[in-house]
């Protein structure tokens, strides 16, 4: 598992825990259900040639959900367990095409200690289970190792001032540049931007090479074009 040793060298020095503005994990988190590939999501095991670190803007996710207190979204969106800005969607192995590795081996339920350790990073037990089953099983036989690598990479990212970005008109290109300016060694070409169908900022993804160092995104990874106007949902109470 050369990828695991490469994590120690990737990105920049680790900063403080990113973007969990407040977070309180209960003694026991909800047990997620097992996830298996759907009929239209076949098992794929091509060689990995890079990675995506996909980060979700939590205020937009919570604005999009129908019921913030539904079991899947309650921890993240109800306000009962904290306030979240940027959270980690997942660490995804990639290839040079859209046929990335997925569902590489059967996945058991992620153990409670692992769920609890990473709930402030990815504030949904079911999403943690999904990321492990679909992506993590293609990187490691152990969920603890997969999430440790994802956590180290996520905590190394420096985030721009989202309040300032929210206050001014933005484009996908300006958001890319804002992230690049905050992260040494990262250029705008290494940052992918995703919006929902109405043009609201949904996710930012950092494109990584096989040694998990930032690299230019491939054309199919880029997402929104630079000139696309992007709106940003502000943090509640900001």
Mind telling me the catalytic residues? 89, 131, 135
Query: In this structure, which long-range contacts are made by residues 80-83, counting pairs with CB atoms below 8 Å and at least 24 apart in sequence?
Result: 81/23, 81/24, 81/25, 81/26, 81/123, 82/20, 82/21, 82/22, 82/23, 82/24, 82/120, 82/123, 83/21, 83/22, 83/235, 83/236
Pairing of strands 191-195, 170-171: unpaired
The b/e string for 77-114 (b: 16+ C-beta within 10 A; e otherwise) is beeebbbbbbbbbbbbbbeeeeebbbbbeebebbeeeb
């Amino acid at each position: 598992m050369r990828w695991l040793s490469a994590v120690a060298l990737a990105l920049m020095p680790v900063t403080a825990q990113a973007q969990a503005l407040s977070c309180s994990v209960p003694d026991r988190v909800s047990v997620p259900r097992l996830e298996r590939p759907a009929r239209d999501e076949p098992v794929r095991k091509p060689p990995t040639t890079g990675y995506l670190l996909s980060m979700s803007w939590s205020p937009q996710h919570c604005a999009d959900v129908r019921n913030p207190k539904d079991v899947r979204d309650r921890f993240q969106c109800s306000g009962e367990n904290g306030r979240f800005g940027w959270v980690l969607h997942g660490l995804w192995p990639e290839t040079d095409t859209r046929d990335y590795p997925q569902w590489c081996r059967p996945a058991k339920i992620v153990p409670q200690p692992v769920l609890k350790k990473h709930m402030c990073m990815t504030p949904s037990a079911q999403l943690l289970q999904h990321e492990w089953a679909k992506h993590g099983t293609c990187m490691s036989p152990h969920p603890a190792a997969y999430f440790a690598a994802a956590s180290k990479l996520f905590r190394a990212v420096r985030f721009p001032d989202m309040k300032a970005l929210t206050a001014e008109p933005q484009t996908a290109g300006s958001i890319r540049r804002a992230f690049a300016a905050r992260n040494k060694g990262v250029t705008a070409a290494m940052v992918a931007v995703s919006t929902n169908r109405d043009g609201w900022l949904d996710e930012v993804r950092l494109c990584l090479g096989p040694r998990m160092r930032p690299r230019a995104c491939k054309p199919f990874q880029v997402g929104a074009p630079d000139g696309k106007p992007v709106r940003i949902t502000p943090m509640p109470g900001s």
